[in-house]
Amino acid sequence: MRKIKIGIIGTGSISDAHLQSYEQNDRADLTAVCDLNEERARLKAKKYGAAKVYSDYRELLNDDEIDAVSICTWNNTHAEIAIAALENGKHVLVEKPLSKTLDEALKVKKAVENSGKVLQVGFVRRYDNNIHILKKFIDNGDLGAIYYAKASSLRRLGNPGGWFSDKDISGGGPLLDIGVHIIDLCWYLMGRPKVKSISGNTYSQLGNRSNIQNLSFYKAADYNPTKNTIEDLANAIIRFDNGASLVVDVSYTLHAQKDESIIKLYGDRGGAEIDPEFKIITEKYNTILNITPQVDSAGFDFTSGFQNEIDGFISSCLGEAEPLSSVDDGVEMMKILTAIYESSKKGSEIQFDIEKVQI
């Protein structure tokens, strides 16, 4: 059996989800790891049995043994590393967001086209088992035309610090980090409609609240709360050319009683709730029914989501299927996110057909 030889670039917090999933895939061979922090890479190599350790990603990309890479580095390096990997003949799984800017995203798209290699964007929410089930209902018309969706990912406290909160490195705050997941998921399930206009607001009212004690949260591998140049809350209304709309809000911190994760879709024949719990809402014999699917996990299952993402990537590398989350979708997300920041800065709506969207 042919095995795809894998290199992991960036061995910080999220890399474990990739490493564990490759380890579980018998058609993947974890061959090399790379991190600027060589000691960190060495520890991961030992833990997961990768034979080679690099501290310069260019050396890993020059290694002819490697077929494919996962890019799990800071957002400002995604495009540069993805392009170099494609030019070196490697397939690429790049963590979300595809890049820091739209301009970079377009360059990655060009590199994918020139190389003919696979590029999959790490929109892990698409790979959740419940989404796979819901997609069958949507594709078979059970929801009808989806005309409205709303999504919230509100953390009371959850600024990961370090590079995440340095806009020059991350490109943005919770909008780019967690907003990208929920906007992408709604857009994908709505049938990837063309964006018509976007109105957004961002706020930097509370800072990172690193003074708060007794509540734990996700942290960058090199957690450091001293610099914070990102928003702490963003919201937006996205209007599509088929008349549908999506309302979204995300935060790293907010004076809220609880964290809140909501993803809801409304169609003209039925509705669906994904977060916090998978439900389908329909109508039969003049009665409204709430359907609770009997599934292993009521909400998003992180472990199987990553496993499905990695299994899908390996399958694409072997030429069996196109990636479920393509470079085109990564570019479209960068257009949407960029426009939300732009709209907030201008204090007015961005019209997609008449304005060139670029930060």
Ligand X SMILES: NC(=O)c1ccc[n+]([C@@H]2O[C@H](COP(=O)([O-])OP(=O)(O)OC[C@H]3O[C@@H](n4cnc5c(N)ncnc54)[C@H](O)[C@@H]3O)[C@@H](O)[C@H]2O)c1
Kindly state whether residue 240 participates in binding ligand X, applying the rule CB under 6 A. Answer: no
Kindly state whether residue 11 participates in binding ligand X, applying the rule CB under 6 A. Answer: yes
Distance CA 112, CA 119 (A): 7
User: Can you tell me which of 75, 99, 307, 308 binds ligand X, judged by CB under 6 A?
Assistant: 75
Number of residues that bind ligand X (CB under 6 A): 28
Taking the alpha carbons of 323, 328, 332, 334 in that order, is the dihedral positive or negative? positive
CB of 7 closer than 8 Å to CB of 34: yes
Instruction: Work out how close the CB of 94 gets to ligand X at its nearest, in angstroms, rounded to a whole number.
Output: 8
Task: Spell out, one character per residue from 78 to 97, where the chain touches ligand X: x when CB under 6 A holds, - when not.
Answer: -----------------xx-
CB of 184 closer than 8 Å to CB of 178: no
Kindly state whether residue 57 participates in binding ligand X, applying the rule CB under 6 A. Answer: yes
Instruction: Work out how close the CB of 74 gets to ligand X at its nearest, in angstroms, rounded to a whole number.
Output: 5
Kindly state whether residue 73 participates in binding ligand X, applying the rule CB under 6 A. Answer: yes
Instruction: Work out how close the CB of 287 gets to ligand X at its nearest, in angstroms, rounded to a whole number.
Output: 38
User: Can you tell me which of 9, 85, 86, 340 binds ligand X, judged by CB under 6 A?
Assistant: 9
Binding region for ligand X (CB under 6 A) out of 73-81, 138-146, 267-275, 290-298? 73-81
Instruction: Work out how close the CB of 324 gets to ligand X at its nearest, in angstroms, rounded to a whole number.
Output: 14
Kindly state whether residue 210 participates in binding ligand X, applying the rule CB under 6 A. Answer: no
Strands 52-54 and 28-34, bridge-based pairing: parallel
Kindly state whether residue 122 participates in binding ligand X, applying the rule CB under 6 A. Answer: yes
For the stretch 214-220, contacts whose Cβ atoms lie closer than 8 Å and that sit 24 or more positions apart, written own/partner, are 215/156, 215/157, 217/155, 217/157, 217/158, 217/159, 217/160, 218/13, 218/158, 218/160, 219/13, 219/160, 219/161, 219/162, 220/12, 220/13, 220/160, 220/161, 220/162, 220/163, 220/164
Instruction: Work out how close the CB of 37 gets to ligand X at its nearest, in angstroms, rounded to a whole number.
Output: 5
Q: Which is nearer to ligand X, 4 or 81 (CB)?
A: 81
Binding region for ligand X (CB under 6 A) out of 11-19, 23-31, 83-91, 342-350? 11-19
> Nearest-5° angle of CA 149, CA 155, CA 156?
135
Integer CA distances (angstroms), 297 to 128, 178, 275, in order: 10, 21, 11
Footprint of ligand X on 123-162 (CB under 6 A): 124, 162
| Of 122, 189, 120, 124, nearest in space to 151 by CA | 189
Kindly state whether residue 252 participates in binding ligand X, applying the rule CB under 6 A. Answer: no
Instruction: Work out how close the CB of 289 gets to ligand X at its nearest, in angstroms, rounded to a whole number.
Output: 33
Instruction: Work out how close the CB of 241 gets to ligand X at its nearest, in angstroms, rounded to a whole number.
Output: 29
Query: Which 8-state DSSP code applies to residue 175?
Result: I
Distance CA 85, CA 8 (A): 12
Kindly state whether residue 109 participates in binding ligand X, applying the rule CB under 6 A. Answer: no
What is the token pair recorded at 60? 């890993």
Integer CA distances (angstroms), 336 to 22, 149, 180, 196, 346, in order: 31, 15, 9, 10, 15
Task: Spell out, one character per residue from 19 to 48, where the chain touches ligand X: x when CB under 6 A holds, - when not.
Answer: ---------------xxxx--x--------
Residues within the interface to ligand X (CB under 6 A): 9-15, 34-37, 40, 57, 72-75, 77, 95-96, 122, 124, 162-163, 177, 220-222
